[in-house]
Amino acid sequence: MAFVMLASLSIPAFAEEAQPSATRGQVVSAILAAAQAYHPDIHKEDIIKGYEDGKLKEDQAVQMVEALVMVSRAFPELPTPVGNDLRMGSFPEGFTDTPAWAKADIDKLTAAGVLVGNSDGTLGGSEPITLDELHTIIARIWALKGTNLKDDFFEVINKEWLNTSTIPDGDMMGGVFSDLSRENDDKLKSILQGLVGKTFKEGTKEQKLADYYTAALDSKSRNQAGSKPIANYLAEINKATSLQELIQADNDLEKATSLSTLFNFMISADAKDSSTNVLYYTGMNLGLDKNSYVTNDENAKQLYIAFMTKLLVLSGEKEQFAKEQASKIYEMEKSLAAVSLDPQEQGDVTKYYNPYTIQQFAALYPNVDIKNSLKEANLPQVDKVIVIDEKQAKKYAEYLKGDQLELLKSYSKVWLLQHTAFKLTDDFRKAVKDFTAGLYGITGERTDEDSAIDSTKAYLNDYMGQMYAERYFSKEAKQDVEHMVKQFIAIYKERIKAIDWMSEVTKQKAIKKLETMQVKIGYPDQWKDQLSKVSIKTYDQGGSLFTNAIAIQKAKADAMKAQLGKPVDKSEWEMNVYEVNAYYNPLNNEIVFPAGILQAPFYDIHAKKEANLRAIGMVIAHEISHAFDNNGSAYDENGNANNWWTDEDQQKFMEKCQAVIDFYNDIEIVPGATNSGLLTLSENVADLGGMAASLQVVSGMAQPDYKVYFESYANVWKSTMTREIAAYLSANDVHSANKIRVNRTVVNFPEFYTTYGIHSGDGMYVAPEQRVSIW
């Protein structure tokens, strides 16, 4: 839920020792304990039958197929997977190595979606099984049954919703956040449709919104234009006979459109001096995530090559040449991905903060006139460039030696096409949709109207946000939430003062950070207009979706470039007002809650104060916690990357972070994908801190209702998605999977155990000495 832009402490990954194979006796004991709540009358002899000689041989190592048959006997009736279980389950067609005596039981478990085989179609049933592997299968059954919250709290609380859940056409997921986002889209749609057809003064936000949306809906005119909007840029790339000419073509493209296909920069606050804007080199475009490249995901590779091939063919290339070039681009991007930062490293200030003088940066690419390119991009006074991904930047230099011209030309064309596809014909759009659908398991398509709204949101986001706030979020609500945030900051001060592992010196600096924390609620205090001089026109007026989008894009880029070397405007927002989200920005030491999330079930101005504190309270406390997670903790009260910890306190903090890594690591999300405790550390720290602080508020109420608190928390995180998206997020998202955010967080608090009577032997039970906490 939180957005943390930059980060700090580097926590080492932990190594897990291999588990020994389980014995028959260990397996039957584990299964009996796991099945007791579902079949109270079950006995040992119901599960383990023994060999022909009648001996049980409980000390003997057990084969996987034997253990699975015992599991099947312990759970004789399994529900037919529907909804989320059907979406998330594993359903191989059948295993080629299943012995006849086990076939009925294995078939039953297979139909329930709880078995995963090998790529060659075998189960591997003759192999040994560990207790961890056994518990993973049992956990899948607990989730499928969803009847005992002591074993799987998330599933039981949300089971009815999960069983009936659907994913809207063209979307990747469904759930509270997704539903609220769609509701907000409906509100934005209502605003736009209320503007279309009316006459507004030229240059007003109403006129620009109405005409942009009208142009975005005009697929007939867009299709008639074909690829003409980018024809000149493609021609310039094609004409290049040297690297220098290709760089100049890219310079001309950037000058006209603010798009660059060969070098990517951004202007943002200097992490070591957050009051000043500096230039960052952000690296190269990659069409897939790093994990897909380095794991040699064949499905992703073929989909991506086919996608690039289609784009090149649509732009006029011959299919055979297009396919050959697409394959070469894939290999180039793969080589760049191999050395690039891992997702969890992208926020580590020791990794991404690599300042170069302009002379040093230019020396990275001796065959490119970097200074001239920056000058032509209207950035003539650059004296420092912060290289975010240094290894990738150096690897890219190998392709800029002058002997890879055709490859770079094709790469440049592909990324021009990717950047502009949705502003061109339906054929280009279909290529993008087919690629993403195949990659992420998406079915159906969003409507043209949905696409028009998405485009209007993307390009006229400030105007949309202003009108959304005016209609759907009041000044009174803004003040009310601001007051609640102050309450939670005060609670956090109390909690920090009471910490037993931190010295007074470090505590005072943490408290200072809280006292200077900036709070932004609902919408900006002042609306700024970067687009005042931008003219937006419909096709009938001589405009187009492409020209409108490019004019907006260029105006925003020019405004950003003008900030280079200037003081940072810390009043600016990094998230749209209508977003269902919130974030902490360490460079500003600020927490931000857009109006989009400040609605039921999170907040309602008409609800009782206690209800709002309980609901939005977790979100508020979560964001405050980000100031003290492994990322935010490296920045001081002024937003500068500056170590304010004593060495001893920092060591203790890192040890606690390691415990959190271990606690959330290697938990199955879907068969074949597990949670990474390292990748998700910052969000897990914030979830733990958020729950600790919000529970303190609930405990202080006249009649604390912990049941409502915990079940509301589980309800908020109910979600469903495709297996492909779940697997993708497991390797790329800094948030734990929603179910893990619930089940693995609540078990660290004694109130959860007393509320539901959780005891040793229950699936949700964690021994007190194994529970984790930081704040």
Which residues are tagged catalytic? 623, 687
Buried b (16+ CB within 10 A) or exposed e, 467-503: bbbeebbeeebbebbeebbeebbebbeebbeebeebe
Give the C-alpha separation, 429 to 494, whole Å.
Answer: 54
Question: DSSP class of residue 593?
Answer: E
The answer to whether residues 464 and 456 touch, using CB atoms and an 8 Å cutoff, is yes
- Coil, strand or helix: which one is 90? strand
The answer to whether residues 587 and 613 touch, using CB atoms and an 8 Å cutoff, is no
Q: How far apart are the first and last CA of the chain?
A: 18
The answer to whether residues 264 and 628 touch, using CB atoms and an 8 Å cutoff, is no
Give the C-alpha separation, 96 to 90, whole Å.
Answer: 16
Give the C-alpha separation, 538 to 552, whole Å.
Answer: 14
The closest alpha carbon to 285, from 332, 251, 324, belongs to 332
The closest alpha carbon to 584, from 525, 630, 529, belongs to 630
Containing 267, the helix (H) or strand (E) segment is strand 265-270
Which residue reads 């056994």 in tokens? 134
Give the C-alpha separation, 313 to 435, whole Å.
Answer: 15
Give the C-alpha separation, 591 to 480, whole Å.
Answer: 16
Convert 675-717 into a string of H (helix), E (strand) and C (coil): CCCCCCHHHHHHHHHHHHHHHHHHHCCCCCCHHHHHHHHHHHC
The answer to whether residues 125 and 99 touch, using CB atoms and an 8 Å cutoff, is yes
Give the C-alpha separation, 238 to 725, whole Å.
Answer: 37
Half-sphere exposure of 212 toward its Cβ, with a 13 Å CA cutoff? 33
Q: How many residues would you count in the chain?
A: 775
Per DSSP bridges, beta strands 384-387 and 273-281 are parallel
Give the C-alpha separation, 169 to 135, whole Å.
Answer: 35
| Vertex 140 angle, CA 136 and 143, to 5° | 135
The answer to whether residues 216 and 545 touch, using CB atoms and an 8 Å cutoff, is yes
Q: What does residue 355 show for φ and ψ, rounded to 5 degrees?
A: -75, 130
Catalogue the E-assigned strands of 294-408. Answer: 355-357, 384-387
The answer to whether residues 171 and 734 touch, using CB atoms and an 8 Å cutoff, is no
The answer to whether residues 642 and 694 touch, using CB atoms and an 8 Å cutoff, is no
735: its two tokens: 């948030």
295: its two tokens: 């794991």
Buried b (16+ CB within 10 A) or exposed e, 110-122: bebbbbbbeeeee
